[in-house]
Amino acid sequence: MTQKIERRTLLIAAVLIILGTLTAITGWYIFPVCEMEGKYVETKSGKLLPMPCGYTARAETAIGALVILAGVTLIALPKRDARRALGIMVIGIAVAAALIATVIIGMCAAPTHTCRIATQPALIFLSGITIITGIYMIITRDGTSS
């Protein structure tokens, strides 16, 4: 039994995969965090640890992978109920991404570091677009039924 997938569903899935990929790579390649620039925190014992933005980049990589997974799952389960459930999940993941970048882990304290100037705003922007996509997934109707 084959299932016809609407063009709109494929477009939403592609948007999620792109947003997830961008979220995952922003802290490493698009707007590199301090760790990528060779900046570390030195402990009293002399051990070098990543700055907070390095941990944020790691967490955002996992968040991005979850958004990509939601996009792939939408292709596998294109029915309306699944799309709505995935929309709710995507909103939750995107809110977590924004909170990780701002409150939960955050960035370096120095306002002049690249992580504060570029990485954090980019992650907040990507989270906002992902939230909007999740809302769109919930409120749109299509020809398929659950």
pTM, 2 dp? 0.90
Task: Name the percent of the chain lying above pLDDT 70.
Answer: 95
8 A C-beta contact, residue 17 and residue 91 = no
- Domain locations in the chain? 7-139
Per-residue pLDDT tens over the stretch 18-59: 999 999 999 999 999 998 888 888 888 988 888 999 999 999
The pLDDT of residue 41: 82
The pLDDT of residue 48: 87
Per-residue pLDDT tens over the stretch 105-145: 999 988 999 999 999 999 999 999 999 999 999 999 765 44
Alpha helices in the chain (DSSP H): 7-25, 52-76, 80-99, 114, 120-139
Mean of the per-residue pLDDT values of the chain: 92
Which residues contact residue 24 at a Cβ distance below 8 angstroms, ignoring those fewer than 6 apart? 60, 61, 63, 64, 65, 68
